[in-house]
Amino acid sequence: MEKIVSLCKRRGFVFPNSEIYGGMNALYDYGPLGALLRKNIFDLWWRKMVTEREDVFGIDGRIILHPKVWEASGHVSGFADALVEDKKTHKRYAADKLIEEQLNLSVKSNDIEAISGLIKGGKLKSPEGNELTMPKNFNLLVPAYLGTVEGEKTQVYLKGESCQNIYVNFKQVFESMHKPLPFGIAQVGRAFRNEITSSGQFLFRQKEFDQMDVQYFCRPEDSSRFYEDWKTIRWNWYLNDLGLSEKRLKWRQHADEERAFYAKDAWDITYDFEGMGFKELEGLHDRGDYDLSQHQKFSGEDLSYFDPETKRKFIPFVVESSAGFDRNFLAILFEAYREDGERVYLKLKPYLAPYQAAVFPLLANKPQLVEKAREVYEVLKKQSGLNIVWDERGNIGKRYYSQDEIGTPFCVTIDFETLENNTVTVRDRDTAKQERVGLGDLKLYLIDKIIL
C-alpha cells in the first residue's frame, strides 16, 4: 500500500484532500493522471453496463434528494454503526471492523447486543490492548442545510448510497422510455458517509466516494435468476474488463446477522489487497420489493407495475450491483504495480492507461527531429481518439522509465531513420521490446493494440 500511495502522489494520480491546510481525514482528490484513469474506468463501465446493453438506461441524479427519501429508505433509523472507545487513549473505532480484524467474525455493524457481549466477555480490546467502552450507535448519514434564512433552513442529507435516485426515478424512466420489465437503471454517483476510519486505508474507506450502480427491475419470480446473471456479469467485469487476476478475486456471502436492512441475500466480490487481505469491491444485493414499496408508502405515489403479459399488478423486485469506484481504482493499481530491478511499471490494460501512447524525439536538441515528432504527435492526438502525451524531458532511457511508471503502454520515438524512411520505433511497456512501424500505419497499429 505504501508504494502505491507514494506513486499516486508523486506521479499525480491521487492527492490528500486540502493538504496545504493539513489535510482532511479519509478524503482524497484525484490528480491529472488519476482523473484520466478515472474517466477511462467510468467510460468502460458505462459502455459495458449501458451502451452495449439494450435493457439498461443510464441516469445522472443529484446528490441532494428530498429528506423523506432517507426516512423511506430506512437510512435515518437504520444506517448506523456501533462506535467503541479505548478507555485509555480515547481513540474511537467502528466495532464491527475491530471484531473482523481481531476475531475474524462478522457481526452486523449496529448489533449493540452482540458487540457488548464480546466486550463484556473480555474477547474484544482496542488495537493497543486496552479496555473498550460499551458500544453506542451513531448514524452514518451526512446532514446538510439548505435555505438562506437562519432558523428556516431545511435539513437534508448528502446521499448515503448513490442508488436512491434510481428508485425515486423508476416510474419516470419507465414512463419515458416505454420499456416493459425487465430493465435496469444505471448511475455513477457520489455517496457520503460519516465513517470512523483508521489510518492506512487510503482510497479504500473514505467519507466521500463514488459508486457505480445498476439496479435491475424485474418480476418477483424472475429475481433469483437475474441475481445469478448479474453475479456473473459483474465477476466478468473484474476478471476480463479490468484484468484482475482470478486468484485475487473471491466471493463472500453475507451471514444473516450481518446483511444490510434492505437485502434478502447479499454477496460481495472481494479482492486480495496485499497487506490488507480480501476486501469488498462491490456488493450484489437481492433487494426484493423493499425499495419501491417503501417509497410508495412514504410518497403516496403508486409505484406498482401492470404486467401486460400476465395482467398482474405488482411492485417490481430489484437486483442491485453496487461497485465502489475508488476501490476499483485501487485494485487496478495493486494489480498493475510491477518492479523489475530499477524499473517500476504499471501493467495497466492499455485502454485504461491515463496516456495510451507517448511521442518523443530521440534527441530534444535536434530541431528536425523535434519538428517531425511534433507533427506525428499532433496528428495522433487529434485523429486517433487516444490519449497521447508529448515528452522531451531528459534522455530517452529516463523517458521510457517515466512513462512505464505511469503505465503508458506504448512509446513512439522519432529518430534519424524516421527522416529517411518515415518509420518510427514503438516500444512496448511490458516487454520493453521495440518495433519499427511505418508512419502511415501508426494510427491503426496503436488503435488495434489499445482499444478493447
By CB under 6 A, name the binding residues for ligand GAP. Answer: 161, 163, 193, 195, 205-206, 209, 211, 280-283, 320, 322, 324, 326-327
| Cα 347 to Cα 78, 189, 272, 324, 338, distances in angstroms | 42, 28, 17, 22, 7
Q: Which is nearer to ligand GAP, 161 or 335 (CB)?
A: 161
Q: Which is nearer to ligand GAP, 281 or 376 (CB)?
A: 281
Q: Which is nearer to ligand GAP, 283 or 354 (CB)?
A: 283
User: Taking CB positions, which residue lies at the least distance from ligand GAP?
Assistant: 324
Q: Which is nearer to ligand GAP, 234 or 427 (CB)?
A: 234
Are 108 and 99 in contact, with CB atoms under 8 Å apart?
no
DSSP type of residue 215 = E
Q: Which is nearer to ligand GAP, 110 or 211 (CB)?
A: 211
**Burial of 18 (C-beta count, 10 Å sphere; 0-12/13-18/19+):** exposed
Closest distance to ligand GAP from the beta carbon of 328 (Å): 8
What's the grid cell of residue 367? 530541431
What's the grid cell of residue 26? 479519509
Closest distance to ligand GAP from the beta carbon of 377 (Å): 37
Closest distance to ligand GAP from the beta carbon of 287 (Å): 9
Q: Which is nearer to ligand GAP, 287 or 372 (CB)?
A: 287
- Residue 56 phi, psi dihedral angles, 5° rounding: -130, 130
Identify any residues that bridge with 270 across adjacent strands, giving them in sequence order: 250, 280
Separation CA 164–CA 110 (nearest Å): 22
What's the grid cell of residue 286? 437481492
176 C-beta neighbours (distance < 10 Å), count: 10
Closest distance to ligand GAP from the beta carbon of 177 (Å): 22
Closest distance to ligand GAP from the beta carbon of 116 (Å): 24
Closest distance to ligand GAP from the beta carbon of 233 (Å): 16
What is the pairing mode between strands 56-58 and 183-192? parallel
Separation CA 282–CA 270 (nearest Å): 7
Using DSSP's 3-state secondary structure scheme, residue 56 falls into strand
Q: Which of 409, 400, 395, 403 has the alpha carbon at shortest distance from 446?
A: 409
Closest distance to ligand GAP from the beta carbon of 320 (Å): 6
Q: Find where cell 463484556 sits.
A: 120
Q: Which is nearer to ligand GAP, 167 or 337 (CB)?
A: 167
What's the grid cell of residue 292? 419501491
Closest distance to ligand GAP from the beta carbon of 213 (Å): 6
Q: Which is nearer to ligand GAP, 13 or 355 (CB)?
A: 13
Q: Is the dihedral of CA 18, 19, 22, 24 positive or negative?
A: positive
Q: Which is nearer to ligand GAP, 71 or 131 (CB)?
A: 71
What is the pairing mode between strands 142-146 and 154-158? antiparallel
Closest distance to ligand GAP from the beta carbon of 136 (Å): 20
Are 157 and 141 in contact, with CB atoms under 8 Å apart?
yes
